[in-house]
């Protein structure tokens, strides 16, 4: 039983560490990826993609990667929070 418990706990710890690393990286950069924006704001990827699709965020596509301005992401998050969405 202990081996199964450890196997279940370790991926969760790794996932949390990865999330913390993404948030730290996003905090240092003026331009971030959609995945980093999602981690920074604690919202699903589809929420950030929806903001882009609705024209609420400007973006630049580099290959398959969509880059957004961190300041715009935080402003949009604040607008959604004030609106109660």
Sorted by where each starts, the structural domains of the chain and their CATH numbers stand as 2-83 (1.10.10)
29 and 70 Cβ atoms separated by less than 8 Å = yes
Most distant CA pair in the chain, distance = 51
pTM > 0.75:
no
Q: Which of 15, 82, 80 is nearest to 48 (CA)?
A: 80
CA 57 to chain centroid:
14
Please write the tens of the pLDDT for every residue from 3-61: 555 555 566 777 777 667 666 655 566 899 999 999 988 889 999 999 999 999 999 99
């Amino acid at each position: 039983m202990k081996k199964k418990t450890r196997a279940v706990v370790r991926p969760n710890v790794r996932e949390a560490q990865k999330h913390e690393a993404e948030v730290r990286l996003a905090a240092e950069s003026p331009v971030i990826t959609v995945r980093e924006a999602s981690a920074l704001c604690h919202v699903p990827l589809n929420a950030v993609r929806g903001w882009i699709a609705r024209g609420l965020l400007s973006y630049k596509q580099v290959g398959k990667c969509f880059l957004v301005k961190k300041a715009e992401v935080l402003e949009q998050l604040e607008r959604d929070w004030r609106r109660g969405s």
